[in-house]
Amino acid sequence: MEISIMKSGSRRIVGIVSAFCFLSLVFCIPAFTSAQTAYPNPIDPINSIPALVDGLANSIKPIVITLSAISILIGAFLYVTAGGDEKKIKTAHAALTYGVLGIIIMLSASTISETLKSFGDQAKGKSPQEFLDFIINLFGTLIMAISVFAILYAAFLYITSGGDTTKVFQANRLILYAVVGIAIAVLAKIIPKALETLLPSAGSGPISNQISTLAGRIAQAFGTIVMAASVLAVLYASFLFVTVTEDSDRATTARRVLLYALIGVAVGLLAYIIPNVILKFAQSL
């Protein structure tokens, strides 16, 4: 009896050692082959800090995206094999969240990096006004990109919430902040253009005509800003209506926002119409 037990134990040891040697051979062959290959220096052509940062980002990007894809696959596998186990479901949520976050971070990093790389070239030889417009467009583009990625992540949280009110609340806040970011970016582009139209151009006639023209332009600029804010308020009210569920306070807030937005649209239209009517009447006298 003892001899048979010893034989079975020795067979297990021999089997484990054989499997270990086989796996070591399988994994060592690619490493040995790679070691015989000559690799060029990855930073050899790089001669500036921006180029070095760009090279490092390009080197890290495939690794992060691969790890994120593996994390998403692991999360999906845990979902399939969870069988109602809450620990596995939480682990699957975490794996999916980190995987999606990794992909979003790399995509946003690429967008921001490409935008910042063009900063120096596009800023050369510009007047102060053109440079200011370029800065506004740059930050508006960055805010818009970050807001879009925030909305995508919020959509992912909605999908994987599973009725978790904490995740739903977090997704709602993300979408709200993303909408605010888009609103800021849009207003940052609209307001300077509206302000440019305020001052009359040189040689535009007598001072009385210039004053009346300035008053009309101020009213139209104010109307433009009010109209833009009203459109954004309508979008926010739509978001509140979509995410209202059974919250009566949210529905009431959505109705108020929509009402004030419609009033803002009416005020903006009057800001366009009334000055033109007054100016035409004054010119006819």
For 155, residues 6+ apart whose C-beta sits below 8 A from its C-beta are: 171
Q: Tens place of pLDDT for every residue, the chain, 285 residues?
A: 545 555 555 666 655 656 556 555 555 555 555 555 555 555 555 566 566 666 676 777 778 778 888 888 888 888 778 777 778 778 887 787 778 777 777 776 666 666 666 665 555 656 666 666 777 777 777 777 777 777 777 777 777 666 677 777 887 788 878 877 777 777 777 666 666 655 555 444 444 455 555 666 666 666 677 777 777 777 777 777 766 666 667 777 777 877 877 877 777 677 667 666 666 665 565
Which is it for the CA torsion 228, 231, 237, 238, positive or negative? negative
Q: Where are the domains of the chain?
A: 46-121, 125-191, 197-285
- Which residue is listed with tokens 């009359």? 200
d(CA 31, CA 124): 49
Q: CA torsion, points 263, 269, 270, 273, in degrees to nearest 10?
A: -170
